[in-house]
Chains A and B, each alone.
Chain A
Amino acid sequence: MERPIAAIGDVTHQAIPDLHKCVKSANVSDVTTEHVIDVRGLVKNFGRFRALDGLDLSVTAGEVHGFLGPNGAGKSTTIRVLLGLLRTDGGSARVFGLDPWREAVPIHRRLAYVPGDVAIWPNLSGGETIDLLIRMRDGDPKSSRREELIERFDLDPTKKGRAYSKGNRQKVALVAAFATEPDLLVLDEPTSGLDPLMEQVFNECLGEHKARGATVLLSSHILSEVERLADRVTIIRAGQAVESGTLESLRRLRRSKITAVVDGQVPDLMADGVHDLDVDGQKITCTVDPDALPIVLTSLTAAGIQSLTSAPPSLEELFLDAYRQDATTPELVDEARR
């Protein structure tokens, strides 16, 4: 997946302060706020294959929740369960406090869904499809934001479904989803077919959606996008949640990368919690566990710091870290979390 080049525009400037504000508020309100999505111990089998294996996921009202995981980890399966399309074999799932299997219709009046691979009717025009989907959610296309969104997404609504490219099909679904201003957006890799310009429009729309106080479950592979937009993330692997929390809290559990140049004699940093140590003359690079940070900093200060940079792990590193865990030892990750 390409990194979004054009994303360093106005959007980023708006989104970043926003993000930090909300990260804090999400932390505080975690306990008190209503869970829009609340999944506990979810199990789903396809024949002998266990797609979801005790998955936990909670999304609080008003947050953008990043939902990450490698291909086949169970992201789309989870989303399908939340939409009431799949039966579960164990655990519980609640959306707006309702059971998605039994009460799909009342739930769906309040949400909009954009699948990763949007399929539309080949003989219906894009405009017809948008209006159809809006009407099927009991909305009225005329009083919706469809016209404005069609313009912003630069979509030709008169083309027939079969003539649209993947990106344009995605725009059709996105316009229909944003048009009625739902309480919850469920997005399954919504920008995988969009060009960087359209991705920016998408980011703007998502920002407006959030500003209304609405909630988003955003499954994505584009980590920079999630990093920029998400308040909290859940990383899943093999049908289980391996990481969940605000980006800040996840980072706190991970090694920081330290690069330092010291005046005096290079201190011996070989200790528990210090890894990948590399000494090149007066320059030291290493990665440090959170617990070991004070010791390392003390030693470095004693040696006389000329320059020091400490980089928190990027989401990509968190993500890759979670990927790399041996699939048979998820409890190790749990320990790390504690």
Chain B
Amino acid sequence: MSTYTGTGILTRQALRRDRLIAPIWIVLLALFVYVSAAAVPALYKTTAERVQAAQAINSNPAIVALYGPILDVHSIGELAMTKATVLYAIFVAILMVILVRRHTRVEEESGRLELIAGTAVGRNAPMFSAIVEGAVVSLVLGLLAALGAIGGALPTAGSLAFGATWVGIGLVSTGLALVSCQLAASARTCAAIAAGAIAVLFVVRAIGDISAQWLSWLSPFGWNTRFRAWSEPRWWMLALYLGSFVLLVAVAQLLRSRRDLGSGMVAARPGRATGSPRLGDAISLAVRVNQGAIGVWSFAFAALGIIFGAIAPGVSNLLDSPDAEQIIARLGGPGAMADTLITAVLSLVAIIVVCFAISVIAHSGGDEADGRTEEVLATATSRSRWFAATTLVAFGGVLWLLLVAGFFLWIGVGAAGAPAGSHTGRIVPAALVYTPAAWLVIAVAAALFALRRSWAVIGWILPALCLVISLVGELLDLPDWFVRISPYAHVPQLPAAAMNWTPLLVMTGIALVVTAFGWWRFARRDIG
């Protein structure tokens, strides 16, 4: 029996378990590519307009930091795929992390892998099946993305090359996730390591794209732009993706062979023999259980804030071409551009931050599935307190993280020197102003969890839904009411725009009502 025996059946089982999540992500991402491609003719009527738009993007370091540069300003494909090339490749990477982790470390942590290891399955088969699944999903996703671009009337050759870059990102992320899942015994920590690695690669590319070009060659996200999918594809670059994939897989296998089942690379340290007096109720327990995640998220948002804050004021300094100056003047001067960037970053942060809250709620769902909730509710802890603890950490955590993001953006801007005419003094309020919208989304997720334990995971769809609504609405120029389904559409665009309290108070009110419904419902449903 080879050490790979059983890979086939394990892969089929893995694909079966992913029959919902993988297709939904793939279809949504491919749809996004199609919509982006199809929207271009309506957005830009002439070639001149397209070139101007591409130049405007290139002349704004902030946007370049987010989306990467447009190397060929005449290419329709590159302009259409501005967001898809780099920024949305993150979602490809996240999907791979979710899938790979689910079939490796999560299985190991739950003890199911032990059950499988006891059957006639080779030692390397479980990991190999995750690799196969990662490769299959990457290929399908890349192919459908290419078809989406072709369907949106973009050149066929360029579309295929673009699809290939997404396959490449998928493969590298699969390898990255595999390595991450070898490092820690906790599946949650492994996810944090993988997410951190993706964030670092993205930021390295962002810095590279606006200053030191060579840095972008160190990140697979940078390769996506430099592949030049839409002009003269550098097909040899596929070797970079494949090489990294093979290397990461080899590292993961080496790490796996050097550790025991169920352990990480670092030996677990002994904990306290007695509990702290402060750890004695549902709230302190919820904080304790989520404090690692709060720390990681706070650090990530602080770093993100500093970097983009430091970039924002630099817009005007980096411009010397008369064309670009003209564009900037039309957009309202350097100050207004800094404001625009800050609004853009914050609107993304405000959606991403909801993921933290969803993870808190999903974690509570996991507690219930495993039986920990049962143990807590068998003590003098009431259901109300348990539900309140979960929602308070979710709501409070989001408020805290928005504050961190806003504060460090402000610090970054301050360090770089705020440009004249900007409203950068209002960055912290500009971040906090997203709180009611984020709370409303979280309240809906909490209510879903309160209705049924297994619905806690549906919450993960909500932030993606908000994103899709705003993007699709914008690209297809859909009627206003469609975009306004998303709570984020009602948030005043500080710092430049004026404050408007009405939508904030209304959304806070709705969030409270929805949470109260969840609380009422949770006190009345079966636990377990």
A contact set with B: CB distance below 8 Å:
80, 83-87, 104-105, 108-109, 111-113, 115, 117-133, 135-138, 141, 157-160, 162-163, 173, 186
Q: Is the interface of A mostly helix, strand, loop or mixed?
A: mixed
In the complex, which of the residues A111, A115, A125 contacts B374, with contact meaning CB atoms closer than 8 Å? A115
Complex contacts, B372 vs chain A, CB 8 Å: 119-121
Complex contacts, A121 vs chain B, CB 8 Å: 285, 289, 372
A163 to B268, alpha carbons, bound, how many Å?
8
Q: Is the CB of B273 within 8 A of A158?
A: yes
If A125-B270, A158-B272, A160-B268 touch, whether A85 touches B374 (CB-CB below 8 Å) is yes
In the complex, which of the residues A86, A104, A113, A128 contacts B275, with contact meaning CB atoms closer than 8 Å? A128
Q: Is the CB of B524 within 8 A of A87?
A: yes
CB distance from B280 to the nearest CB of A (A): 3
Complex contacts, B186 vs chain A, CB 8 Å: 122-123, 162
25 residue pairs of the A-B complex, CB under 8 angstroms, read A80-B527, A84-B377, A86-B527, A87-B525, A108-B379, A109-B380, A113-B375, A113-B378, A117-B371, A118-B375, A127-B272, A128-B271, A130-B275, A131-B279, A132-B279, A133-B379, A135-B275, A135-B277, A136-B380, A158-B271, A158-B272, A162-B109, A162-B262, A163-B268, A173-B375
Complex contacts, B374 vs chain A, CB 8 Å: 80, 83, 85, 115
Near A by CB (< 8 A), chain B positions 289-320 give 289, 292
Complex contacts, A80 vs chain B, CB 8 Å: 374, 527-528
Q: Is the CB of B379 within 8 A of A125?
A: no
Complex contacts, A112 vs chain B, CB 8 Å: 378
Is B274 part of the contact surface with A, judged by Cβ < 8 Å? yes
Q: Is the CB of B375 within 8 A of A127?
A: no
How many chain B residues touch A (Cβ–Cβ < 8 Å)? 39
Complex contacts, A105 vs chain B, CB 8 Å: 380-382
Complex contacts, A111 vs chain B, CB 8 Å: 378
Complex contacts, B379 vs chain A, CB 8 Å: 108, 133, 136-137
A115 to B528, alpha carbons, bound, how many Å?
13
Complex contacts, B276 vs chain A, CB 8 Å: 128
If A127-B273, A128-B272 touch, whether A104 touches B377 (CB-CB below 8 Å) is yes
A138 to B381, alpha carbons, bound, how many Å?
9
Is B185 part of the contact surface with A, judged by Cβ < 8 Å? yes
CB nearest neighbor in B for A161:
B271
A34 to B479, alpha carbons, bound, how many Å?
69
Is B288 part of the contact surface with A, judged by Cβ < 8 Å? yes
CB nearest neighbor in B for A126:
B271
Q: Is the CB of A85 within 8 A of B527?
A: yes
Is B281 part of the contact surface with A, judged by Cβ < 8 Å? yes
CB distance from B107 to the nearest CB of A (A): 14
Q: Is the CB of A132 within 8 A of B371?
A: no
Near A by CB (< 8 A), chain B positions 349-402 give 370-372, 374-383
CB distance from A327 to the nearest CB of B (A): 25
In the complex, which of the residues A123, A133, A158, A162 contacts B375, with contact meaning CB atoms closer than 8 Å? A133
CB distance from B407 to the nearest CB of A (A): 28
A132 to B274, alpha carbons, bound, how many Å?
9
In the complex, which of the residues A83, A157, A159, A162 contacts B377, with contact meaning CB atoms closer than 8 Å? A83
A162 to B261, alpha carbons, bound, how many Å?
13
Is B480 part of the contact surface with A, judged by Cβ < 8 Å? no
Complex contacts, A130 vs chain B, CB 8 Å: 275
Question: Interface readout for B170-213 with A: 1 if CB under 8 Å, 0 if not?
Answer: 00000000000000011000000000000000000000000000
In the complex, which of the residues A84, A125, A138 contacts B273, with contact meaning CB atoms closer than 8 Å? A125
Complex contacts, A120 vs chain B, CB 8 Å: 372
Complex contacts, B262 vs chain A, CB 8 Å: 162
Sample of 5 further A-B pairs with CB below 8 A, known A113-B375, A124-B275? A85-B374, A115-B375, A125-B272, A128-B276, A138-B380
CB distance from A109 to the nearest CB of B (A): 5
A122 to B377, alpha carbons, bound, how many Å?
18
Near A by CB (< 8 A), chain B positions 415-466 give none
Q: Is the CB of A123 within 8 A of B292?
A: yes
CB distance from B294 to the nearest CB of A (A): 13
Complex contacts, B525 vs chain A, CB 8 Å: 87
